[in-house]
Amino acid sequence: MATHNISDSVIRRLPRYYRFLGDLHNAGISRISSRELSERMGLTASQIRQDLNCFGGFGQQGYGYNIDLLQAEIGQILGLDRPQNAVLLGAGNLGRALAQHIDFSRRGFHLIGVFDRKEALFGQVIRGLPVRDVATLDDFCRDNYPSVAIMCIPKEEAEPMVDQLVRLGVTGFWNFSHFDIAMKYPNVSVENVHFGDSLMTLSYRLHND
Amino acid sequence: MATHNISDSVIRRLPRYYRFLGDLHNAGISRISSRELSERMGLTASQIRQDLNCFGGFGQQGYGYNIDLLQAEIGQILGLDRPQNAVLLGAGNLGRALAQHIDFSRRGFHLIGVFDRKEALFGQVIRGLPVRDVATLDDFCRDNYPSVAIMCIPKEEAEPMVDQLVRLGVTGFWNFSHFDIAMKYPNVSVENVHFGDSLMTLSYRLHND
DNA sequence: TAGATTGTTAATCGATTAACAATC
DNA sequence: TAGATTGTTAATCGATTAACAATC
């Protein structure tokens, strides 16, 4: 599937295009020009055309873009049509909230297992999945081969856990812990979500904008 | 406080410097060169020196940087020493998890109120704060003038809520909703956290890296 | 002093914007 | 066909990296 080298900036804009196109679809609109889309999204029309043309010519001169077709294309580019199995490590406040709050299937994932090390949580059901003893992770992975792990455990516990998961074939991490996975495993895909960092950048802007 | 125009790329790296310096401090290390820090963080030494020199010369030739002093400087640059009052809108799974999970005081904020519109939640206590009826938001803000709002409510409910908060003097939003605040209010500070977008970029990379 | 490492200027690289010929 | 709008090349802008003189 790998189109040549698409820059991270472009990739990070794709989900936003996908969302806006979904909204336009819901509003009953069927076609749009790069200029109009740019006004709605606060980008330049040029950038939109450049971005899309990294992947192919989805528009038509004199007409613009067909919204449904373009959204479907972007969905495919993002791989939303080929969902990957994911396990959640850590069923604390954050892990539970993510499991309950995120529509994984619409984002290209299938959540198949939830693990924690606290005995008190074992068997508790979250979004239809029982919390399992992390001691049973090996067996579970050998039977179900998840390719992705969602890390909602403290930094100190993360490193051995990541080692184990990589050994078990996990190639992607959605990382909410502060352990720097990408630094240790440059070949796995890592998407970090660091709430603290995000809040601090807001703090900076509040004081300086 | 406003130093000239610092690029967003630089600002987004500051919290990570702050974290790494904290770790080094905890490891009992007291000084570091840009080269060694660059190796630990996976950056170039040049970039680190450029970044820091946006704000001042914190190092010493032939010696490097004093870790504690540098961390304190970055903390001040981020405004962590001048905490802002924040209210949380939406006490669902996500809102509750954030209230319980985030150490606001160490990130430059003070959480002073939690609001929801569901009667069943009123009075429930989260991290020492009672969930309040969103109908009482006006009065609460007039008495406590929060400057920041954390938006954990659905997109459809967000727009009127944001209007109200801006009217009440809120100038910063930590936005977990899909309503595009920055588009409507270009003059407020907005930090978006879009889990869905984040997950989809991970999906892309899993299929293409 | 000699060695190390910064602060800073200059060079490079990449991303965004502008322009326009191709074409629906 | 004429008008609109794309796809794409060229120009600009900004961010990263390299180099080195200043200096601790």
Per-residue model confidence as pLDDT tens digits over A113-148 = 999 999 999 999 999 999 999 999 999 999 999 999
B47 touches strand D (CB under 7 A): yes
Our measurement of CA B47 to C1' D20, in angstroms, reads 16
In a 10 Å sphere around its CB, with 0-12 CB exposed, 13-18 middle and 19+ buried, how is residue B60 labelled?
Answer: exposed
Per-residue model confidence as pLDDT tens digits over B154-176 = 999 999 999 999 999 999 999 99
Per-residue model confidence as pLDDT tens digits over A158-186 = 999 999 999 999 999 999 999 999 999 99
Sheet holding A172-175, edge to edge: A125-126, A129-133, A109-116, A84-89, A148-151, A172-175, A189-192
Is the pLDDT reported for residue B105 higher than 80? yes
Alpha-carbon dihedral of residues A41, A176, A75, A170, nearest 10 degrees? 160
B84 is written with which tokens?
């802002």
Residues of A in contact with B91 (CB under 8 A): none
Q: Are A15 and B200 contacting, i.e. CB atoms less than 8 angstroms apart?
A: yes
Our measurement of CA B90 to C1' D8, in angstroms, reads 47
A5: nt with nearest C1' to CA:
C14
Per-residue model confidence as pLDDT tens digits over B49-73 = 999 999 999 999 999 999 999 999 9
pLDDT for res A3: 52
Protein-contacted bases of chain D (C-beta within 7 A): 2-9, 14-19, 22-24
Average of per-residue pLDDT values in chain B? 96
A45: nt with nearest C1' to CA:
C17
Burial letters B63-77, b for 16+ CB under 10 A, else e: ebbbbeebbbbbbeb
| Residue A17: C-alpha distances to residues A67, B8, B58 (Å) | 10, 21, 41
HEC letters along chain B: CCCCCCCHHHHHHHHHHHHHHHHHHHCCCCEECHHHHHHHHCCCHHHHHHHHHCCCCCEECCCEEEHHHHHHHHHHHHCCCCCEEEEEECCCHHHHHHHHHCCHHHHCEEEEEEEECCHHHCCCEECCEEEEEHHHHHHHHHHHCCCEEEECCCHHHHHHHHHHHHHCCCCEEEECCCCCHHHHCCCCEEEECCHHHHHHHHHHHHHHC
Residue A5's pLDDT band (cuts 50, 70, 90): confident
A9 touches strand D (CB under 7 A): no
User: To the nearest whole angstrom, how far is the Cα of B82 from the nearest Cα of chain A?
Assistant: 9
Is the pLDDT reported for residue B2 higher than 50? no
Per-residue model confidence as pLDDT tens digits over A40-86 = 999 999 999 999 999 999 999 999 999 999 999 999 999 999 999 99
pLDDT for res A28: 97
Residues of B in contact with A16 (CB under 8 A): 194, 197
A60: nt with nearest C1' to CA:
D6
B182 touches chain A (CB under 8 A): yes
User: To the nearest whole angstrom, how far is the Cα of B22 from the nearest Cα of chain A?
Assistant: 12
Our measurement of CA B42 to C1' D16, in angstroms, reads 14
Mark yes or no for CB contact B100/A107 under 8 Å.
no
pLDDT for res A1: 42
Is the pLDDT reported for residue B191 higher than 80? yes
User: To the nearest whole angstrom, how far is the Cα of A54 from the nearest Cα of chain B?
Assistant: 14
Question: Chain A: residue nearest B186 by CA?
Answer: A42
Is the pLDDT reported for residue A190 higher than 60? yes
- CATH numbers and ranges of domains, chain B: 8-77 (1.10.10.10), 84-197 (3.40.50.720)
Q: What is the C-alpha to C-alpha distance for residues A48 and A66, in angstroms, rounded to an integer?
A: 14
Residues of B in contact with A178 (CB under 8 A): 19
A104 touches chain B (CB under 8 A): yes
| Predicted model pTM | 0.96
Q: Are A174 and A149 contacting, i.e. CB atoms less than 8 angstroms apart?
A: yes
Mark yes or no for CB contact B93/A106 under 8 Å.
no
pLDDT for res A2: 43
Local structure of A152: helix, strand or coil = coil
